[in-house]
Amino acid sequence: MALKLGDLAPSFVAETTQGEIDFHKYIDGSWAILFSHPNDFTPVCTTELGAVGKFMPEFEKRGVKVLALSCNDVESHKAWIKDIESFTPEAQVSYPIISDPKRDLAVQFGMLDPDEQDAAGIPLTARAVYVFGPDKKLKLSILYPATTGRNFHEVLRVIDSLQLTANHSVATPVNWNAGDKCMVVPGLSNEAAAAKFPKGFETIEVPSGKQYIRLTPQPNI
């Protein structure tokens, strides 16, 4: 069963490449991403964990803790890290990789892909990404199959949106990128919006005559 938005992150202790980690203690008070990959020593996963390694300064800048996970054992992960850092020379795999050989976490988080199996015919993890807020609740998830490498530019984009919208009364429109205009949330009156956004806001006229499309410059820059 997959996690739903708003679900509290399951609490667990896991073996990782950086020793035993208690997930709730690890993410306490921070944003966090937990992402799974199908298998060590496979091509797409190598590019993905390299990209995350390369983007670590971006995750750190945003205060986001990062944890990877697959069903392989810790020794496999450690040997594979050398390949990852060789293939992506700008990458440092400074984040822990969880070992989940019995699929306890994969089942609990809904990460398994029935189409991808190990030599014994047991399902492997898909390419899941879970973003948790400082309240340890699920804010966003993506679930891609083994054939389709993720887009970590998109992961950074949504983290920017989640962090911005958690603290300001705006939402981010389709295809938004950091620095683009934002939408004033519907719950805020025009008077409250005028007080809250010193740069002002623009109301777009639409055929219904309803005044719900209100654009404002990104408030935290």
As annotated, the active-site residues are: 45
Q: Does residue 186 belong to the site contacting a copy of itself (CB under 8 A)? A: yes
- The identity of residue 152, as a single letter, is F
Q: Does residue 202 belong to the site contacting a copy of itself (CB under 8 A)? A: no
Q: Which of 75, 19, 86, 8 is nearest to 46 (CA)?
A: 86
Scanning residues 3 to 32, which ones bind a copy of itself (CB under 8 A)?
3-6
Contact 49, 78 (CB under 8 A): no
The correct pick among 50, 66, 105, 193 for binding a copy of itself (CB under 8 A) is 50
- Give the alpha-carbon dihedral of 132, 142, 111, 97, to 10 degrees: -60
Q: Which of 103, 99, 141 is nearest to 123 (CA)?
A: 103
Q: Does residue 78 belong to the site contacting a copy of itself (CB under 8 A)? A: no
How buried is residue 142: exposed, middle or buried, by Cβ count under 10 Å (0-12/13-18/19+)? middle
Q: Does residue 192 belong to the site contacting a copy of itself (CB under 8 A)? A: no
Q: Does residue 213 belong to the site contacting a copy of itself (CB under 8 A)? A: yes
Instruction: Find the shortest distance in angstroms from Cβ 211 to a copy of itself.
Output: 10
Contact 144, 127 (CB under 8 A): yes
Q: Which stretch binds a copy of itself (CB under 8 A): 17-25, 27-35, 40-48, 57-65?
A: 40-48
Q: Which stretch binds a copy of itself (CB under 8 A): 16-24, 57-65, 92-100, 112-120?
A: 112-120
Starting at the earlier edge strand, list the strands of the sheet with 214-216: 182-184, 214-216, 202-203
Residues that bind a copy of itself (CB under 8 A): 1-6, 41-44, 46-48, 50-51, 79-80, 82-83, 86-87, 110, 112-115, 126, 139-154, 157-158, 161-162, 165-166, 171-176, 183-186, 204, 206-208, 210, 212-214
